[in-house]
Amino acid sequence: MISIQNVSKHYGTFQVLTDCSTEVNKGEVIVVCGPSGSGKSTLIKCVNGLEPFQSGTITVDGVSVGDPKTNLSKLRSRVGMVFQHFELFPHMSITDNLTIAQVKVLGRSKDEATDKGLKLLDRVGLKAHAAKFPGQLSGGQQQRVAIARALAMDPICMLFDEPTSALDPEMINEVLDVMVELAQEGMTMMCVTHEMGFARKVANRIVFMDQGQIVEDDAKDAFFGNPRSERARQFLAKILTH
């Protein structure tokens, strides 16, 4: 579904990504982790072309992201993305947030889009909030709306960029619950997250990054049981002892 081959990226002389390669097959859940500044957010943003890269290739469902001939908007409309800071549109009601792209990008009718949006809002447990504005919801609620907004586009896969990092601890689980459910239904997911509990529960593979390189790309059990690299071991020791 997602194929990343030898991707490198630099800002001027600063190398952000070096020769990164990995695969996400249909129905797989891949967790990308690593210390901050390791390039994991940049990598996931390269997948839907939000960040350009200088060399290597990324294909999503057979479409090359880096190819200048690719209609990126069209590709992005098929790839859901959830951001660290939710990025709901603050000037629109929750319903409008859920429907605007369905109507303007996919060309669905207002009724059809509203129907779909409200169904998904119900699924993330927020049906009662349809008429509110994002500013009236808690962070966890906003992130669940953001997931529903992405799902409303019927994406072929979902990208999560640190979806719980900006949340208060008591709200993290409500978002993770939605993500776990999604994973169990067979959604193809690439998640940048530090939530190792989530990774243990649903991930197929763990990609560990450090200093712009993919250091490990292992099945979940192998990664948690016996990480091969020293850096991954140190990272796990730090993140799991607290």
Partner 1 sequence: MYEFDWSSIPGALPFLWEGMKVSLEITACAVLFGIAWGTLLAMARLAAIKPLTWLAAGYVNLFRAIPLVMVLLWFFLIVPQVLRGVFNLSATTDVRLASALVGFALFEAAYYSEIIRAGIQSVPKGQVAAAAALGMTYAQAMRLVVLPQAFRNMVPLLLTQAIVLFQDTSLVYVSALADFFGVAYKVGDRDGRLVELLLFAGAVYFLICFAASQAVRHYQKKLNAHGAH
Residues in the chain: 242
Does 166 contact partner 1 by CB under 8 A? Answer: no
State how far the alpha carbon of 240 is from the alpha carbons of 38, 160, 166, 196, in Å.
18, 21, 19, 8
Give the C-alpha separation, 46 to 195, whole Å.
22
Beta-sheet pairing, 189-192 with 29-33: parallel
What minimum distance in Å lies between the beta carbon of 87 and partner 1? 4
Does 13 contact partner 1 by CB under 8 A? Answer: no
Which stretch, 11-19, 62-70, 149-157, 187-195, contacts partner 1 (CB under 8 A)?
149-157
Taking CB under 8 A as the criterion, the residue among 25, 26, 54, 90 binding partner 1 is 90
**Other Cβ atoms closer than 10 A to 54:** 11
Give the C-alpha separation, 54 to 56, whole Å.
7
What minimum distance in Å lies between the beta carbon of 88 and partner 1? 8
Taking CB under 8 A as the criterion, the residue among 29, 150, 182, 191 binding partner 1 is 150
Cβ atoms of 228 and 219 within 8 Å: the answer is: no
Size of the site for partner 1 (CB under 8 A): 30
- Toward partner 1, which CB reaches closer, 81 or 206? 81
What minimum distance in Å lies between the beta carbon of 169 and partner 1? 22
Does 231 contact partner 1 by CB under 8 A? Answer: no
Sign of CA dihedral 154, 25, 53, 81: positive
The terminus-to-terminus CA distance of the chain in angstroms comes to 35
Contact mark string toward partner 1, 101..120, x via CB under 8 A: x--xxx--------------
- Toward partner 1, which CB reaches closer, 76 or 144? 76
What minimum distance in Å lies between the beta carbon of 182 and partner 1? 17
Give the C-alpha separation, 63 to 54, whole Å.
17
> Is residue 210 within a helix (H) or strand (E), and if so which, with residue range?
strand 205-210
Question: Considering only residues 25-54, where is the footprint of partner 1 by CB under 8 A?
Answer: 45, 48, 50
- Toward partner 1, which CB reaches closer, 92 or 196? 92
Full DSSP string of 9-35: EEETTEEEEEEEEEEE-TT-EEEEE-S
Does 138 contact partner 1 by CB under 8 A? Answer: no
The token pair at 78 is 């098929």
Binding site for partner 1 (CB under 8 A): 45, 48, 50, 73-74, 76-81, 83, 85, 87-91, 100-101, 104-106, 133-136, 149-150, 153
